[in-house]
Amino acid sequence: MALDRNATKQATLYAFDADSPALSARTLYNHQGPARALFDIPQTPDIVEALAGYDLLFFSGITLSLYGAAGRARFFDALDRAQARGARIAFDANFRPRGWPDGPVAHAAYEQAFDRADIVLASTEDLRLLFGGDNPTERLLVYSSAERVLKLPDLACRIVMADGLDQVVAAKPVARVVDTTAAGDSFAAAYLASRLAGADPVTAAEAGHTLAGVVVSHPGAIIPRSAMPGFLQPSDGFTGRTQA
């Protein structure tokens, strides 16, 4: 897929305060991010066609927040076309309230995402911010019958499958946490890569915990290639592309 260049747009830039216990992020600019134009304007068909060339498509709640109603409709249509051609859909709830005009708009968009997803990754924090209430996890279980990976606040996740599997998978404690940036993204990456490689959900969750533990032991979101766990080393030849 070719990438368009646009001299009038700027990539989103975040600055993290590494000395802050909460590692607070400050957005320097993101209102002109090129990603915002992908589906908010009628798009050339090559992007929609390219999406169908992958085994799995992954997006998050932040993706949904980039577009208006028309853009989200185009985005969901592209997902539907890809899914009809065999692609699986993975959705990370990753809810950030400030990205949405109001709760009902967010709820409607998330319901559409949950309805399409084959795999849903969410945290109890995301769900509480999105739905409120004492037991927001149950809202997800009602909305979606997908493969659900619920990250819990006590360094564990709950796997819920349509076949009846409902299991908590605990993470091993990390000896020294340096920087928690990208911990959730790292978990999702290892989980999805493992599932695509044929691992069962519990093994994939263990892989997600392992990679997240390595990432938080290093400063920044990008770890040295030499630190990558062996099962995710590029030499394994995994690409994620659909094989002809």
Strand order in 119-123's β-sheet? 56-60, 88-92, 119-123, 147-152, 156-160, 166-170
Is 185 catalytic? The answer is yes
Active-site choice (19, 163, 185, 200):
185
- CA neighbor of 52 nearest in space, from 26, 84, 13, 20: 84
- Angle 183-196/201-215 helices, nearest 10 degrees? 140
Q: What are phi and psi of 127, to 5 degrees?
A: -70, -35
* Secondary structure of residue 38 in the 3-state scheme: coil
Provide the pairing of β-strand 166-170 with 156-160. Answer: antiparallel
Helices (H), the chain: 45-51, 61-65, 69-84, 103-116, 124-131, 136-143, 183-196, 201-215
Residues noted as catalytic: 185
